């Protein structure tokens, strides 16, 4: 299992770690601040010992368990290991200590967009009353939210969502992150005045870091609508 430094400090840019696995251009370290693709958030890029990391993914590790007084066995997640995908095979070996550095400007934009996207979701839900989310994805360029909706989004209502989101972002609100007391493997995202949301992504600490956003409507297919969130630089 990889120690996840990006949860301890999402603002960490560089770190040292020991190499525990190498498979061609795929490297596993004992700890990392590279966020792996998951929960709709793209994986980090950067470099390890000067070699480009072009993607970061994860593998969930499980054990077989038998519940008390139950005849059936099941799989229980016990953690995950983070896979750093390099642009070429490394010149270091298992057991070496290496230095990692993420593409911080890219990550920070992702953090700002991911935090902003939660507010887009809550306000859009209130305005459009959609019943089911069909997908989400965030990278350093935009966030997208797909949901079931029977008609084209009203432009005036979408502008109302955008205005309300920007009003919220300008309120200097603290964004809290903590482990769920009932299930410590789950991470919580919470802001005063909004429902708690489980989210394993990386986020900023305060809405003032996000700045302003603009929203765009896209139609990804019949019966679906998409709202894209962009940072206003």
Q: What are the two backbone dihedrals, phi and then psi, of residue 129, each rounded to the nearest 5 degrees? A: 55, 35
pTM score: 0.91
Domain layout of the chain by residue ranges? 3-102, 106-232
Q: Tokens at residue 25, please?
A: 């251009």
Contact 197, 175 (CB under 8 A): no
Among the four given CATH numbers 3.30.980.10, 3.30.70.990, 2.60.200.20, 3.40.1350.10, the one describing domain 106-232? 3.30.980.10
Average pLDDT over every residue of 94-98: 99
Distance CA 45, CA 87 (A): 11
Q: How confident is the model at residue 72 (pLDDT cuts 50, 70, 90)?
A: very low
Average pLDDT over every residue of 184-207: 94
Q: Tokens at residue 174, please?
A: 């603290």
Contact 101, 14 (CB under 8 A): yes
Which CATH number is 3-102 given?
A: 2.40.30.130
Per-residue pLDDT, 205: 98
């Amino acid at each position: 299992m990889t120690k996840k430094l990006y949860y301890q400090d999402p603002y960490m840019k560089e770190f040292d770690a020991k190499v525990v696995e190498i498979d061609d251009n795929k490297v596993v370290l004992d700890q990392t601040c590279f966020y792996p693709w998951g929960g709709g958030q793209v994986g980090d890029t950067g470099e390890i010992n000067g070699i480009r990391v072009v993607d970061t993914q994860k593998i969930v590790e499980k054990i077989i368990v038998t519940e008390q007084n139950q005849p059936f066995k099941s799989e229980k997640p016990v953690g995950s290991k983070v896979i750093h995908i390099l642009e070429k095979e490394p010149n270091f070996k298992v057991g070496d200590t290496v230095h990692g550095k993420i593409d911080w400007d890219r990550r920070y934009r992702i953090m700002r967009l991911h935090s902003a996207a939660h507010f887009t979701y809550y306000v859009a839900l209130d305005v459009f009353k959609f019943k089911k989310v069909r997908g989400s994805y965030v990278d350093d360029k935009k966030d997208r939210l797909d949901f079931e909706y029977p008609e084209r989004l009203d432009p005036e209502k979408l502008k109302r969502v955008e205005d309300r989101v920007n009003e919220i972002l300008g309120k200097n609100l603290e964004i809290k992150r903590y482990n769920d007391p009932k299930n410590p493997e789950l991470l919580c995202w919470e802001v005063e005045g909004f429902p708690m949301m489980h989210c394993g992504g990386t986020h900023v600490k305060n809405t003032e870091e996000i700045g302003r956003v603009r929203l765009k409507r896209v139609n990804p297919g019949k019966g679906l609508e998409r709202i894209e969130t962009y940072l206003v630089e």
